[in-house]
Amino acid sequence: MINQAALALGTKRNTIMELADYGRSRAAIVGKENVFDFSIGNPSIPAPELVQSTLLDILQNMDPITVHGYTSTMGDPKVRAIVAQDLCERFGCDSKAEEILLCCGAAPEVAAACKALTTEGAEILVFAPYFPEYKPYVEQAGAIFRIVPADIPDFQINFSALEELICPNTTAVIVNNPNNPVGAVYSEATIQKLSALLERKSEEFGHRIYIIADEPYRELVYGDAKVPFIPNIYPHTVVCYSYSKSLSLPGERLGYIYVPSAAENGRDLYHAILGAARAMGHVCAPSLMQLMLSRCAHLHPDLSVYDRNRRTLMEALTSYGYEMAKPEGAFYLFLKAPSGDDRAFSAMAMEKDVLLMPGSDFGCPGYLRLCYCVSYDTVVRSLPLFEELIKE
């Protein structure tokens, strides 16, 4: 007997991965340079020089048994202390090593946090447009996946819809800031308002509603935009961080969970997440990457390449008549589908080998996601095609 839910998930794959696979197959036929693949958020800038040199140094000079061995399930205590110290310096919090759990990226972290916060009948809320993998994470945990409709055109939080959907079964809300697929940054005022609402509802329902803060793009912000550090506003928060985007290491699988002790039942929540991760097969984050992190946790990404792509696309697409949400973070533009039909427009673009994800896959029909973590040359050569598309 085969688990039918698992079969369905494996058969109808992640649509982003499917479109990216299609891009690779087209590249093999028409040449890589002729495919304008804006489908997937794979960083297009290399990992910082210090990351490369540190990895080489570790491999050449450290004991291979240590480098490739297991660490503690929570991660090497010294590395956890460095991560905690880095958080204190960046955000003025008082995080400690024992509140940090080194993990294999934001995906398993969010999945483990969902599991740890799922009790009988639990509901977990997400804000549209949302990262589509949240649905399988929430449902594998056994919780009900509830979508708060988008706040159009600002792409902050639709508070009136949230008030209607939040209920005594709600155990957590997932907040992704900066947001994939919009590139919007939830402001300090938005997070303050969310915090006040969750305080009020937790009181009313007689149990704590937690925030799961999914933050792989925390360092990727442009101009004056500021990403509020949610635990400083609402301590009942599980931070799920990843180095996939900030250090351009998505294939290396490294991130951390931070559960402040100030969160209600914070220590139990930390251990429940550890238990959930264990049940999902977590053993430890890659040892080589942990060792690298002990010397590179302070690094910030160089955003100049993404920023140039962002500004070039914004300017050109706006001049052709496209409308988009204000992109302040991550590396995504969220375009209004000119025809109103995102799937039809995405299919039309595909005919020209321009790959854009329909907003419907993120719970927001009528929009298209464009990942601008591509080469500048790809951006520039794609512009005439965008102009043709809107005319058509």
Task: Write down the least CB distance from residue 5 to ligand PLP, Å.
Answer: 21
**How far is 218 from 239, CA to CA, in rounded Å?**
11
Q: Identify which of residues 364 and 389 has a Cβ nearer to ligand PLP in the complex.
A: 364
Of the candidate spans 203-211, 242-250, 287-295, 373-381, the one that interacts with ligand PLP by CB under 6 A turns out to be 242-250
Assess 244 for contact with ligand PLP (CB under 6 A).
Answer: yes
293 contacts ligand PLP (rule: CB under 6 A)? no
Q: What is the dihedral of CA 231, 235, 240, 244, to 10 degrees?
A: 10
**Which residues between 101 and 160 bind ligand PLP (CB under 6 A)?**
105-107, 131
Name the residue with tokens 């007689």.
Answer: 206
We find the least distance from the C-beta atom of residue 128 to ligand PLP, in angstroms, to be 13
Q: Which of 20, 23, 41, 58 binds ligand PLP (CB under 6 A)?
A: 41
If the CB atoms of residues 106 and 277 are measured against ligand PLP, the closer one turns out to be 106
Least CB distance from residue 254 to ligand PLP, whole Å?
Answer: 8
CB of 4 to ligand PLP, least distance (A): 26
Please tell me whether residue 257 binds ligand PLP under the rule CB under 6 A. no
Cα(392)–Cα(130) distance, rounded to whole angstroms?
A: 29
Shortest Cβ distance from residue 137 to ligand PLP (Å)? 9
250 contributes a contact to ligand PLP by CB under 6 A? yes
Query: By C-beta, is 231 or 250 nearer to ligand PLP?
Result: 250
Which of 75, 255, 359, 363 is the binder for ligand PLP (CB under 6 A)?
255
- Positions in 173-192 near ligand PLP (CB under 6 A): 176, 180
Q: Give me the least distance between CB of 315 and ligand PLP, in Å please.
A: 25
Q: Considering the complex, state which of residue 42 and residue 202 has its C-beta at the smaller distance from ligand PLP.
A: 42
Confirm if 299 and 8 have CB atoms less than 8 A apart.
no
Using CB under 6 A, pick the residue from 95, 156, 190, 242 that binds ligand PLP.
Answer: 242
Tell me how far, at minimum, the Cβ of 38 lies from ligand PLP, in Å: 14
For residues 382 and 384, what is the distance between their CA atoms, to the nearest angstrom? 6
Binding status of residue 43 toward ligand PLP by CB under 6 A: no
| Choices 4-12, 99-107, 162-170, 190-198; region in contact with ligand PLP by CB under 6 A | 99-107
Question: Of residues 76, 123, 214, 219, which one binds ligand PLP by CB under 6 A?
Answer: 214
Query: Minimum CB separation from ligand PLP for residue 214, in Å?
Result: 5
Q: Which of 183, 216, 327, 329 binds ligand PLP (CB under 6 A)?
A: 216
* Tokens 């085969």 found at: 2
Dist. CA 138–CA 145, nearest whole Å = 6
Q: Which is nearer to ligand PLP, 244 or 248 (CB)?
A: 244
Q: Which residues bind ligand PLP (CB under 6 A)?
A: 41, 105-107, 131, 176, 180, 214, 216, 242, 244, 250, 255
